[in-house]
């Protein structure tokens, strides 16, 4: 039979069982929604390429303080990082970036804005797209950090809120703390800051010079990083060694090396993607596994429901078999009907998933990276179609398994001969057992995860934090004393 | 009894010797086995139906009529014996081939009509043609051809005006007419009819039997199973089953005997 007629016949049949259709579609849609959202999240974090050109060749450069053979990647020595940036120009392209905050004094409400102090290479390494204007001006290839002018690039969002999207924004001045900057560019709306450099969306990008950090500062900071681009064929180990040599020289400069025999300062390069991802992949995989188990529990329920439906359809199947439908034609009939149901469920599930993704952005913004890129995409839609087809095939398989083709003739003479044969009790028991065991497994795993988390949360910090409050004071202007 | 049976069959065969054989059963037996019990539903049944015949098989309840009809309709397999439809041995065919022969060579009419409630009358009848698979070299039926065939079958049973109705909008007699149209639409070699009047009142029952008779006169081969002797008389050849064996005379009903 042609697919068109099979679909029309299935729709006609399903119209007669609206409660069955609603229950099945609703049950599947809720659990599939969770699965699709979890898939989308995993796909973004584990597989989706970063939205930058040559993202595979981008690395985050950090200092690794090796003490007694143990790695320690923590605070970054300011002078060493700037030294690496200056001296590595001979063999790599790198951008140095300092995360900060400042008060936008030029705005009437004087809001605190997120800033990034960076070297000009940042824009070229990430191929940053501009809505208006461009990157900081340069004085040739040999420009030093200290040569930078007081220029600013602003985010699309700041442009819209503080400059009402005016095309005349380029050339206007903005003041952050006590420094005036000339606006030279507005970033494209779609540009996303790379994760490790920011904790919140950057609003103003400023030349690194104005961070106040210089090569002669020996203290460390946790807000300083470098972005490095390795050319095709360039050895990661070789570059790491060259950078480590710069660090070693910096460390021993003017210092008695014998005092640091058990300490080494080495360069550490991490792929930008891995650096952004961190260990969030494990979290998202657990979420995916949980939603999959949830789907399995719901599916066991759905199969039970479907088998009840099939037992009512046996006379129809018998009629079809009698007039010449082969076993595979009956399977096709069951498959088409199941597919209509699972596709319907998948459509509603995608709507639920879209809502769940919005919710995830709201509640997990500080926990998981790249959430601003989260959203239903082609891959998730293809995945949802694939899942719908697989579930439909499974339902049709269970339906075919529950119906004996050779015994269908019994349903043709239903005039008082007691032909309402039910689905095998073994199948029903198996389904109930699978539901109970899957639910039990999910509860067990959930309680184990919860217990571990509670232990972590309740673990004593070793310091008394009772009635202790953190206060952060930001000075908009530094009033300089004539004598100091 | 065996001698009498052979005589009857010889007479039938002689009369029909010039017709083509439509369906032939030889030494058909059907045994249902459980762990403790062996039930012989049919024993050495020989039956030949020629094209254009109207044969009725009657007998008391449990005599094996339905088992015989299921075997003849390829809905069940015999335990022993051979079975030919239009010269083709169908005793040992696989599931798919049996389905194909049911589709092309056999038309079924049941006591309980067996129409699909959610489909229109048209779709119920067209279903036979929609399940017809084309082999290489054969031409697939177009939608126009299907429409023509369905309307032709409907006009044969005088139900052309009910094509778009649903079965549950029709009376029992009308539903049986639709079932007959469905059986006819594929132009089968034979109609197998199982108690066609069982769910109908006498008026509708008579009308359905008259329809079957007229179809037979127009050339349709019919084999009908019934326990109603009045309707069995519509057939040109009346056969009788008792305890799984074909006998020449009608078996005396238990009720009649008492």
Give the mean pLDDT of chain A: 86
Please determine, for residue A205, whether its predicted confidence score (pLDDT) is greater than 60: yes
Q: Do A324 and B104 touch (CB under 8 A)?
A: yes
pLDDT over 90, % of chain B = 53
For the ranges A130-139, A252-261, A460-469, which has the lowest average pLDDT?
A: A252-261
Give me the helices (H) in B16-138, please: 65-72, 95-105, 121-130
Among B70, B75, B146, B197, pick the best mutation site for testing chain A contact (most A Cβ within 10 A).
B75
A323: nearest CB among B102, B111, B195:
B102
**What DSSP string runs through A311-362?**
HHHHHHHHHHHHTT--HHHHHHHHHHHHHHHHHHHHHHHHHHHHHHHHHHHH
Q: What confidence score (pLDDT) does residue A416 get? A: 39
- Determine the pLDDT at residue B2: 47
Greatest mean pLDDT range, A32-41, A253-262, A472-481: A32-41
Angstrom distance (rounded) from CA A84 to CA A94: 9
User: Which among A176, A223, A19, A321 is positioned nearest to B98, based on CA atoms?
Assistant: A321
**Torsions phi, psi for B196 (to 5 deg):** -65, -20
pLDDT band of A423, cuts 50, 70, 90: low
Q: Is B33's pLDDT higher than 90?
A: no
Q: Do B75 and A325 touch (CB under 8 A)?
A: no
CA–CA separation, B172 and B199 (whole Å):
7
> Best-predicted range by mean pLDDT among A216-225, A255-264, A418-427?
A216-225
Quick check: A12 and B119 CB within 8 A? Answer: yes
Q: Residues of A with CB below 8 A from B97's CB? A: none
How many Å apart are CA A374 and CA A385, to the nearest integer?
19
On the question of pLDDT at A341 being above 90, the answer is: yes
pTM > 0.90? no
Q: Please answer yes or no on whether A323 and B73 come within 8 Å at the CB atom.
A: no
DSSP state letter for A47: I
Query: Is the confidence at residue A368, as pLDDT, over 90?
Result: no
Minimum CA–CA partner of B76 in chain A:
A406
Average pLDDT, stretch A412-426? 53
Nearest to A320 among B100, B131, B133 (CB): B131
Q: B18 falls in which pLDDT band (50, 70, 90)?
A: low
Q: Cβ contact (<8 Å) for B110 and A412?
A: yes
Mean pLDDT of chain B: 85
The Cα-based distances of B129 to A325, B75, B153 in angstroms read: 10, 19, 12
Mutation choice for B interface testing from A16, A20, A323, A414 by most B CBs within 10 A: A323
**Chain B residue with minimum CA distance to A15:** B118
Q: SS3 of A159, please?
A: helix
- CB-based contact B47:B239 (threshold 8 Å): yes
**Partners of residue B116 in chain A, C-beta under 8 Å:** 316, 319
Contact list in B for residue A2 (CB cut-off 8 A) is: 130
Locus of tokens 């030093």: A144
Band of residue A258 on the pLDDT scale cut at 50, 70, 90: low
Contacts for B35 with CB less than 8 Å, ≥ 6 apart: none
Burial of A460 from C-beta contacts in 10 A (0-12 / 13-18 / 19+): exposed
- The DSSP bridge pattern shows strands B88-89 and A263-271 to be unpaired
Of A319, A326, A409, the CB nearest to B116: A319
> Could you tell me if B59 and B65 are in contact, meaning their C-beta atoms sit under 8 angstroms apart?
yes
Q: pLDDT at position A156, please?
A: 94
Residue pLDDT, tens place only, A309-338: 888 888 899 999 999 999 999 999 999 999
Q: Which of A324, A409, A412 sits opposite B99 (nearest CB)?
A: A324
Q: What is the pLDDT of residue B106?
A: 93
Please answer whether residues A130 and A185 qualify as being in contact, where contact means their C-beta atoms are separated by less than 8 angstroms: yes
Chain B positions touching A309 (Cβ under 8 A) are: none
- A291's tokens: 């939603």
C-beta atoms of A323 and B128 within 8 A = yes
**Residue in A with minimal Cα distance to B196:** A413
Q: Per the structure block, which two tokens stand in for B46?
A: 């020989």
Chain B residue set in contact with A, beta carbons under 8 Å: 66, 70, 73, 75-76, 95-96, 99-100, 102-104, 108, 110-112, 114-119, 123, 127-128, 130-133, 182, 186, 194-195, 198-199
As a whole-number percent, the residues of chain A with pLDDT over 70 amount to 92
pLDDT of residue B251: 41
* ipTM for this prediction: 0.86
pLDDT tens digit sequence for A384-406: 999 999 999 999 998 888 887 77
Look at A412 and B108 and tell me if their CB atoms are within 8 Å. Answer: yes
Residues of A whose CB is below 8 A from B118: 9, 12-13, 15-16
Task: Specify the higher pLDDT residue, B236 or A443.
Answer: B236
Q: Report the pLDDT value the prediction gives residue A450, as an integer from 0 to 100.
A: 81
> Using CB atoms, which residue from B96, B130, B198 is nearest to A415?
B198
Put simply, the answer to whether A326 touches B100 (Cβ < 8 Å) is yes
Q: Find chain A residues with C-beta within 8 A of B186's C-beta.
A: 323-324
Q: Is A95 left (phi over 0), alpha (psi -120 to 50) or beta?
A: beta
Give A45 to chain B, closest Cα distance, Å: 48
Which of A5, A16, A326 faces B130 most closely, judged by CB atoms? Answer: A5
Q: What is the mean pLDDT of residues A176-204?
A: 85
- Nearest by CB to residue A324, choosing from B103, B117, B123, is B103
Residue B252 has pLDDT above 50, yes or no: no
Residues in chain B closer than 8 A to A16 (CB atoms): 117-118
Q: Does residue A281 carry a pLDDT above 60?
A: yes
Task: State whether A415 and B132 contact (CB < 8 Å).
Answer: no
Q: Quick one: three-class SS letters along A62-97? A: EEEEEECCECCCCCEEHHHHHHHHHHHHHCCEEEEE
* Strands A179-187 and A151-154, sheet pairing: parallel
Tell the residue number behind the tokens 């023509």, with chain if given.
Answer: B148
* CA dist B166 → A15, A212, B119, B171 (Å): 14, 85, 6, 11
Please list every residue in chain A whose beta carbon sits closer than 8 Å to the beta carbon of residue B104: 324
């Amino acid at each position: 039979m042609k697919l068109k007629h099979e679909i029309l016949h299935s729709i006609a049949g399903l119209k007669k069982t609206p409660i069955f259709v609603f229950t099945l579609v609703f049950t599947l849609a809720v659990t599939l929604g969770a699965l699709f959202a979890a898939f989308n999240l995993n796909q973004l974090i584990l597989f989706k390429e970063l939205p930058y050109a040559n993202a595979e060749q981008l690395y985050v450069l950090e200092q690794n303080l090796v003490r007694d053979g143990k790695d320690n990647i923590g605070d970054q020595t300011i002078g060493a990082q700037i030294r690496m940036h200056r001296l590595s120009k001979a063999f790599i392209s790198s951008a140095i970036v300092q995360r900060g905050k400042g008060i936008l004094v030029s705005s009437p409400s004087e809001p605190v804005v997120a800033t990034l102090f960076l070297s000009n290479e940042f824009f070229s390494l990430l191929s940053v797209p501009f809505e208006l204007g461009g990157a900081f001006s340069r004085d040739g290839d040999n420009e030093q950090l200290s040569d930078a002018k007081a220029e600013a690039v602003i985010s699309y969002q700041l442009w819209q809120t503080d400059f009402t999207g005016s095309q005349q924004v380029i050339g206007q001045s903005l003041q952050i703390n006590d420094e005036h900057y000339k606006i030279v560019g507005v970033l494209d709306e779609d540009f996303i800051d790379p994760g490790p450099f920011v904790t919140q969306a950057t609003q103003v990008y400023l030349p690194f010079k104005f961070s106040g950090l210089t090569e002669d500062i020996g203290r460390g900071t946790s807000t300083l990083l470098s972005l490095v681009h390795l050319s095709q064929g360039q050895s990661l180990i070789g570059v790491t060694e060259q950078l480590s040599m710069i660090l070693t020289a910096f460390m021993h400069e003017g210092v008695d090396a014998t005092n640091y025999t058990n300490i080494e300062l080495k360069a550490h390069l991490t792929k930008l993607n891995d650096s952004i991802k961190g260990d969030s992949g494990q979290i998202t995989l657990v979420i995916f596994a949980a939603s999959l188990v949830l789907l399995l529990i719901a599916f066991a329920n759905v199969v039970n429901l479907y088998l009840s439906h099939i037992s009512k359809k046996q006379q129809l199947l018998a009629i079809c078999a009698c007039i010449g439908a082969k076993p595979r034609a009956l399977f096709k009939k069951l498959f088409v009907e199941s597919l209509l149901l699972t596709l319907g469920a998948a459509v509603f599930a995608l709507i639920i998933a879209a809502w769940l993704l919005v919710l995830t952005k709201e509640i997990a913004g500080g926990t998981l990276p790249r959430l601003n890129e989260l959203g239903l995409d082609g891959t998730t839609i293809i995945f949802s179609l694939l899942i719908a087809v697989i579930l439909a095939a499974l339902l049709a398989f269970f339906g075919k398994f529950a119906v004996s083709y050779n015994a269908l003739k019994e349903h043709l003479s239903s005039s008082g001969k007691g032909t309402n044969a039910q689905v095998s009790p073994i199948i029903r028991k198996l389904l109930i057992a699978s539901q109970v065991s899957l639910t039990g497994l999910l509860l067990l795993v959930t309680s184990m995860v919860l217990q571990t988390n509670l232990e972590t949360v309740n673990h004593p910090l070793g310091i008394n934090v009772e009635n202790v409050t953190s206060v952060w004071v930001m000075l908009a202007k530094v009033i300089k004393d004539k004598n100091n | 009894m065996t001698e009498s049976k052979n005589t009857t069959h010889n007479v039938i065969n002689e009369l029909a010797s010039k017709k083509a054989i439509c369906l032939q059963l030889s030494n058909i037996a059907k045994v249902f086995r459980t762990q403790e019990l062996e039930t012989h539903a049919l024993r050495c049944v020989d039956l030949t139906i020629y094209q254009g015949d109207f044969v009725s098989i009657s007998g008391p309840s449990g005599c094996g009529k339905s088992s015989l009809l299921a075997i003849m309709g390829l809905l069940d397999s015999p335990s022993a014996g051979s079975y030919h439809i239009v010269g083709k041995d169908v005793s040992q065919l696989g599931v798919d081939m049996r389905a194909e022969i049911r589709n092309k060579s056999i038309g079924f009419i049941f006591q309980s009509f067996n129409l699909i409630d959610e489909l229109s009358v048209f779709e119920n009848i067209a279903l036979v043609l929609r399940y017809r698979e084309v082999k290489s070299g054969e031409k697939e039926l177009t939608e126009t051809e299907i429409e023509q065939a369905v309307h032709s079958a409907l006009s044969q049973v005088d139900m052309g005006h009910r094509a778009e109705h649903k079965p549950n909008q029709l009376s029992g007699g009308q539903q049986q007419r639709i079932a007959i149209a469905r059986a006819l639409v594929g132009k089968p070699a034979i109609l197998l009819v199982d108690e066609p009047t069982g769910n109908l009142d006498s008026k509708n029952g008579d009308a359905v039997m008259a329809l079957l008779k007229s179809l037979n006169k127009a050339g349709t081969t019919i084999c009908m199973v019934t326990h109603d002797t009045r309707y069995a008389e519509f057939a040109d050849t009346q056969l009788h089953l008792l305890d799984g064996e074909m006998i020449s005379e009608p078996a005396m009903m238990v009720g009649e005997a008492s």
